[in-house]
Amino acid sequence: MAVILIGKGDKVKIGIIGGGSFGQFMARVFVPYHEVFICSRRTDIILPDVDMIPFENLASMDCIILAIPLEAHQSVLARLRPMLRPETLVVDVCSVKVRSREILLHELSGHPNMLICHPLFGPQSAATGTQGHQLIVTDAMGDAAHRMITFCQGVLGLQVTHVTAEEHDQAMAYVHVLTFFVARGLGNMNIAQLPFVTPSFQYLQDLINLDHQHSDELFMTIQTGNPFGAKVRREVVQALGDLEQSLA
């Protein structure tokens, strides 16, 4: 049975820290197969078959997923550490990996079961399912982490790629930092509704609309948490400046 791939019983308890859009999305992904709980300061979350729990109840979870901004990692992990059982799998899904990995390995030093990864999909792009989407893994420690990867491949249909944290952030400096930076800049232009557009312009509008669906916390994590991000932002600003100068 697929459900035994990340635990020894028929179902395991998965606690998700963070009730934002991605945390709720993770809950919807796992709830068909396991018992899912969300720990969040929000009180307006209503998801079928998903219960809200206080922080101290995370101690009984078999798997804990960190669906929180980078800036919250250190304080949350420091609070989690005293109650964490050795067999509990801790999963980091932060959009930047060098810094989140450093914090995780420092705060949970010696913990035997950790999966440090980045799902390259979310509630918008995987609205109809996870099949075929990508999961980037930088570290898989312990049997529980490898069982989770097997579950993600065999049940969720994810394509898993293993890279270092540095390789991940270097690539995502273009994939994420550049995309979000350009989208936010275009959105800040406040272009009025136009009577007609070309398909190519609509692509830009779709990019702006996608940015509107992302939280400011995610934007800041991607822009300031990636050590290679500032260089890419300078490159695009310089390239546009050079292009403008060539037209003068």
pLDDT tens, 169-205?
999 999 999 999 999 999 999 998 899 999 999 999 9
- Answer yes or no: is pLDDT of 3 > 50: no
Q: Looking at the structure, tell me whether residues 175 and 222 fall in a common domain.
A: yes
Residue 213: pLDDT band (50, 70, 90) is confident
pLDDT in tens, 122-164: 998 999 999 999 999 999 999 999 999 999 999 999 999 999 9
How far the first Cα of the chain sits from its last, in Å, is 66
**Of the residues 135, 163, 191, the one at which a domain ends:** 163
Q: Write down the pLDDT at residue 7.
A: 52
Distance between CA atoms of 197 and 183, rounded to whole angstroms? 18
Residue 4: pLDDT band (50, 70, 90) is very low
pLDDT in tens, 85-113: 999 999 999 999 999 999 999 999 999 99
Q: Looking at the structure, tell me whether residues 207 and 111 fall in a common domain.
A: no
**Average confidence (pLDDT) over 3-11:** 56
Q: Give 31's DSSP letter.
A: T
**Average confidence (pLDDT) over 23-38:** 97
Q: Looking at the structure, tell me whether residues 156 and 177 fall in a common domain.
A: no
Distance between CA atoms of 48 and 209, rounded to whole angstroms? 28
Structural domain including 159 reads 2-163
Residue with tokens 């600003």: 237
**Of the residues 109, 133, 163, the one at which a domain ends:** 163
pLDDT in tens, 34-76: 999 999 999 899 999 999 999 999 999 999 999 999 999 999 9
- Answer yes or no: is pLDDT of 118 > 60: yes
- Answer yes or no: is pLDDT of 114 > 80: yes
pLDDT in tens, 220-245: 999 999 999 999 999 999 999 999 99
**Of the residues 104, 132, 163, the one at which a domain ends:** 163
Asked if residues 139 and 116 have their Cβ atoms less than 8 Å apart, the reply is yes
Residue 10: pLDDT band (50, 70, 90) is low
Contacts of residue 44, defined as CB under 8 A and 6 or more positions apart, other chains included, come to none
Q: Write down the pLDDT at residue 5.
A: 55
CATH value at residue 123? 3.40.50.720
- Answer yes or no: is pLDDT of 6 > 80: no
The total of structural domains in the chain comes to 2
- Answer yes or no: is pLDDT of 9 > 80: no
Q: Looking at the structure, tell me whether residues 96 and 193 fall in a common domain.
A: no
Question: What average pLDDT does the chain have?
Answer: 94
Write the CA distances from 187 to 10, 53, 73, 232, 238, integer angstroms.
47, 37, 29, 19, 20
Q: Write down the pLDDT at residue 39.
A: 98
Q: Looking at the structure, tell me whether residues 109 and 48 fall in a common domain.
A: yes
